[in-house]
Amino acid sequence: MKIKPATLVFITLLNVFSFQLLAQKKLEIADYAKFVNVSDPQISPDGKSVVIVVSRSDYTQNRYNAELVLIDVASGKKRVLTQDRFAVSSPRWSPNGEQLAFIARSVQGRDVTNQIYLLSMLGGEARQITKAPKGVQHFAWNPGSTAIAYAALNEPKNKQDIEKGITGFEVTNNDMFVGSQPLPAHIWLVNTNTGENKRLTDGDWSLPIVIPPSAPSSPFSWSPDGKTILFVKVATAYSGDGQNRTIQLLNVADGTYKPLTTRTKFEAYPNFSPDGSKISYWYKIGDINGSINELWLANATGGEGKPVSAQLNRDLYLSAWMPDNKTFLAGGHDDNKTSIWTMSLDGKATALNLGNVCPSWGFWLDATVSKTSAIAFTGSEPNKPVELYFMASTTSKPVQLTDYNSEVSKMTLGKTETIRWENEGWKHCGIVTYPANYEKGKKYPLVLVIHGGPNAASVDQFSRFSQILANEGYFVFEPNYRGSDNFGNEYKIAIVQDAGAGPGRDVMTGLEKLKTTGMIDTARIGVSGWSYGGFMTVWLAGHYGGWKAAVAGAAVTDWADQYSFSDFNVGRASALGGSPYVGDNMKNYIAQSPITEAKNIKAPTLILANTGDPRVPVTQSYKLYHTLVDNGTVTKFIAWPIPAHNASDPVTQMERDKLWVNWLNTYLK
């Protein structure tokens, strides 16, 4: 059928008009369902394809549905590898490229656990190869593609007593919500051909056990000859003892192991060099818990070796060997961005040209290197949510291989800028997001969204919540402050024994700089944050006036509670001068706790928390609530019965953000 020219013109105009409508659509919280997360890219051994985890929110089932997708590098063609599974993770290629192992949910009667599955790249269904009673935490292939080492929790020693109702357990350095003896994790080996499972280690010590949000547990690293596995040993399974971690070399044949060094703390993330002669690993500078992760290089025969990344002086979230045995791929926060560098064995670092792309991070950088020196990573741009990127070499420009979030990218978004200032000898930066429909000459209300951690940083990436606020007509200021990890070790440890006062002055100085632009309605400024961002919110609201609204999420308000009840517990002591219960050190805890001056808060305050949060126990939110109410401050306290630090499901995440935005709208508009 022949279409008339006038009809063609009409269709063209209609398509243009439809695109303009989409481009002008306001980004709202209801659009969360449109976001797609892309993570854990794994390049095939031949460098021709990449497997990723693609996750979508399911608001009907209140869960995240994940699938493994194979991306052809040359064409960008996609193929879904996992069918009829909603919980998959950790795709890992066999070294020969013939199989893909991954973790998926296994249901055996009433027991639901995470197990390892194998998928042949020639086709067919994935088959389960482990039946760990407590599930599998992470794993690594041997070089010969014939076996997989994996981490799994032990079963309780007193299992029979527990079944009889005898459930008492010893409390030491654990969080207040632990309801049974913490179980150690150990190393097992499964033959991928026969399915035979064999225990390699046992004891009361443990592999690292991760409580989110956190970097993943130190992966296993096999020697090229398949005889040795590098792993990290933690003194006990109690979370507060996590800093007592050392690198060990495991003899696969007989299960014996020996330490790499004579240290007793702060070693992590060991990796054999491709030729097996060297071992790289992370170590905290100066044996200080709050310092940056520094890359060290040792001989495979043992010993501490020497630091490599001192010249770079950045907190590492990535260190991977390049195939040449002479170079590392390193990553971490740097100024207002997240960077990836190549680093020689003598520490010379060269930043990769990533353009506007900011690699994804979650206390870990989402990137992998192939045997061909190709690099795959996930990342975002300020106006574009996360996608998969590929670099054929370290000198190539990133090529975007996916476009899952194109619909969101076409919505109305606020532009971002970096603001810089100095305070008390420190250089600082922060990210400013403009109102989505900004008009020059007008003044707008401002919301501070302060990052947590404080081992973190606000960088120039896509920020969903900042863009939501921008579409509500706000300027958004995400300040970095001393204690953030984007300006080196000295900047990061400057927060030690100065948890709030110094960082508070940093943020307020940055705020004053922003006010001088003339774009801010200084009568309508709110402050907000989650975790350490909640700490900063309460500190600033209690020590400085002028705030018209505050939102304190999972806020640290009392350091003594953090020491006594949280998952890190005694591990926090070094940042506050030691135990609060020794000598007169309690006065330091009191002086540095926001609850001490919270009685001064006048801004209407919304308190948000999870009742089972092990990272920041809810006791501190209760203390804040009663302090504010008893002193006549407008206050609302909303809590969720969730045993996690963050909103762990999509419905709660949406509900939390709605409450946050509505509170700001009530008092700032």
Q: What is the pLDDT of residues 339-348, one digit of tens each?
A: 999 999 999 9
Secondary structure (DSSP) of 331-347: EEEETTEEEEEEEETT-
Distances (CA, A) of 36 to 69, 375, 408: 13, 22, 10
- Identity of the amino acid at 125: E
Tell me the two tokens of residue 167.
């459930």
Is the per-residue pLDDT at 656 higher than 50? yes
Q: What is the mean pLDDT of residues 137-144?
A: 98
Note the pLDDT of residue 109.
Answer: 77
Note the pLDDT of residue 287.
Answer: 87
How far is the C-alpha of 332 from the C-alpha of 345, rounded, in Å? Answer: 18
Is the per-residue pLDDT at 17 higher than 60? no
Note the pLDDT of residue 521.
Answer: 98
Residue 517 sits at φ, ψ, to 5 deg, of -70, -20
How far is the C-alpha of 548 from the C-alpha of 349, rounded, in Å? Answer: 45
Which residues lie below 8 Å from residue 602, measured CB to CB, with a gap of 6+?
A: 545, 547, 633
pLDDT digits (tens, 9 = 90+) for 486-496: 999 999 999 99
Note the pLDDT of residue 134.
Answer: 95
Note the pLDDT of residue 366.
Answer: 86
Mean pLDDT score of the chain: 95
- Identity of the amino acid at 500: G
Higher pLDDT, 129 or 13: 129
How far is the C-alpha of 30 from the C-alpha of 653, rounded, in Å? Answer: 11
How, if at all, do strands 475-479 and 444-450 pair?
Answer: parallel
Is the per-residue pLDDT at 6 higher than 70? no
Which residues lie below 8 Å from residue 347, measured CB to CB, with a gap of 6+?
A: 307, 308, 309, 310, 311, 312
Half-sphere exposure in the Cβ direction for 148 (13 Å, CA) = 31
Is the per-residue pLDDT at 335 higher than 90? yes
Distances (CA, A) of 344 to 297, 309, 467: 11, 9, 39
Residue 20 sits at φ, ψ, to 5 deg, of -65, -40
Note the pLDDT of residue 19.
Answer: 47
Crossing angle of the two packed helices 464-471 and 650-668, in degrees rounded to 10: 40
Is the per-residue pLDDT at 202 higher than 50? yes
Q: What is the pTM of this model?
A: 0.94
How far is the C-alpha of 494 from the C-alpha of 5, rounded, in Å? Answer: 70
pLDDT digits (tens, 9 = 90+) for 582-618: 999 999 999 999 999 999 999 999 999 999 999 999 9
- For CA atoms 489, 490, 494, 497, the dihedral sign is positive
Is the per-residue pLDDT at 14 higher than 80? no
- Identity of the amino acid at 1: M
Note the pLDDT of residue 5.
Answer: 52
Exposed/middle/buried for residue 124 (C-beta within 10 Å: 0-12, 13-18, 19+): exposed
Q: What is the mean pLDDT of residues 471-488?
A: 98
Is the per-residue pLDDT at 158 higher than 90? yes
213: preceding bond cis by omega (within 30 degrees):
yes
How far is the C-alpha of 637 from the C-alpha of 617, rounded, in Å? Answer: 15
Tell me the two tokens of residue 618.
């809810």
Tell me the two tokens of residue 252.
């696969």
Tell me the two tokens of residue 492.
């990061």
Rg over alpha carbons for the chain, rounded to the nearest Å, is 26
- Identity of the amino acid at 656: R
Per-residue b or e along 193-203, where b marks 16 or more CB atoms closer than 10 Å to that residue's CB: eeeebeebbee
How far is the C-alpha of 473 from the C-alpha of 277, rounded, in Å? Answer: 57
- Tokens 């549905």, residue? 65
Note the pLDDT of residue 11.
Answer: 47
Contact by Cβ (8 Å): 319, 330:
yes
Is the per-residue pLDDT at 249 higher than 70? yes
SS3 515: helix
Per-residue b or e along 6-32, where b marks 16 or more CB atoms closer than 10 Å to that residue's CB: eeeeeeeeeeeeeeeeeeeeebebebb
In this structure, of 103-112, 220-229, 545-554, the range with the lowest mean pLDDT score is 103-112
pLDDT digits (tens, 9 = 90+) for 506-554: 999 999 999 999 999 999 999 999 999 999 999 999 999 999 999 999 9
Which residues lie below 8 Å from residue 16, measured CB to CB, with a gap of 6+?
A: none
SS3 631: coil
SS3 193: coil
